[in-house]
Chains A and B, each alone.
Chain A
Amino acid sequence: AQSVAQPEDQVNVAEGNPLTVKCTYSVSGNPYLFWYVQYPNRGLQFLLKYITGDNLVKGSYGFEAEFNKSQTSFHLKKPSALVSDSALYFCAVRDSWGKLQFGAGTQVVVTP
C-alpha cells in the first residue's frame, strides 16, 4: 500500500531562515508525490508534484522539493521563509486506485 509520513507536527522557523518540511514515502513501484498547503478554513492549494525526471522539483511560491529514492524522502524546502508561509502543509502520494493518500500534516509557524 502507498503511504506517506510527516514526522513533525509543527515546524517553527524565523522569517528569512530556510524552511524544511519533511516527508517520507512507502510505495510499490514509481511514486507520484505531491505537496499541498492549506490556510485556515480553506481548501488545499497545490504546490508541486513529482512524477518522473529531475529529482529537484520547483513549485509555487518559491517552494521546491527534492525526491530522494535511496532515502524514500520528498522534503519540501524554501530558502527564505515568509510570515505568510505559516500554514498547514500536506505531503501526499497517489495510490494505485488514483486516490491521494495524505500525511498527517505539518503546521509551519514563521515568526517575524
Chain B
Amino acid sequence: GAVVSQHPSRVICKSGTSVKIECRSLDFQATTMFWYRQFPKKSLMLMATSNEGSKATYEQGVEKDKFLINHASLTLSTLTVTSAHPEDSSFYICSAGGWDRGYYGYTFGSGTRLTVV
C-alpha cells in the first residue's frame, strides 16, 4: 500500500534556529500534502494544505512566514519551522492525499517530535 516516509522522527533544536521536516511519498504520487500539528493527547490541527507546484494554503491563525511549506514535486514536501521557539515544540505529522487503486485516500507519515530548547 501507499507509504509516506517522514524524517526526522525526532529533533531537538535551540531557540532561534530553523528545522526542516521532510515527507516523501514512496510509491504513489501525492497530489496534495497536508501538514498537521498535534498537542499531547489532543486531536490533529491542520496547519496547511499544499498542492504540487503551487503555494500552500494556510489555515486561519497559522503563520505562513514561520511555517514554510514547499511541495516541489509529487513525491516530496517539506515543512520548515523558522526561528523556532519553545512554544513551537509539538508533534508534526504530514499526510499525503492521492489516488490509490481508484479511491482518494490519505496516508500519514510517522510524525516528527520537535523540541525547542
**Which residues of chain A have a CB within 8 Å of any CB of chain B?**
34, 36, 41-46, 49, 51, 88, 90, 97-100, 102-105, 107
Contacts and interface: CB of A to CB of B under 8 A. Distances in A.
Interface of B: 4, 6, 9-10, 32, 34, 41-44, 46, 49, 91, 93, 95, 97, 103-111, 113
A99 B46 contact: yes
B44 to A, nearest CB: 5
Given A42-B110, A43-B6, A49-B105, A100 B43 contact: no
B97 A45 contact: no
Contacts of A51: 103
Given A41-B111, A100-B106, A107 B93 contact: no
A90 B44 contact: yes
The 9 A-B residue pairs whose C-beta atoms are closest, nearest first, are A43-B108, A44-B108, A43-B110, A43-B111, A102-B43, A104-B43, A43-B109, A105-B43, A102-B44
A107 B41 contact: yes
12 contacts: A41-B10, A41-B111, A42-B111, A44-B93, A44-B108, A49-B105, A51-B103, A90-B44, A97-B49, A99-B34, A100-B34, A102-B44
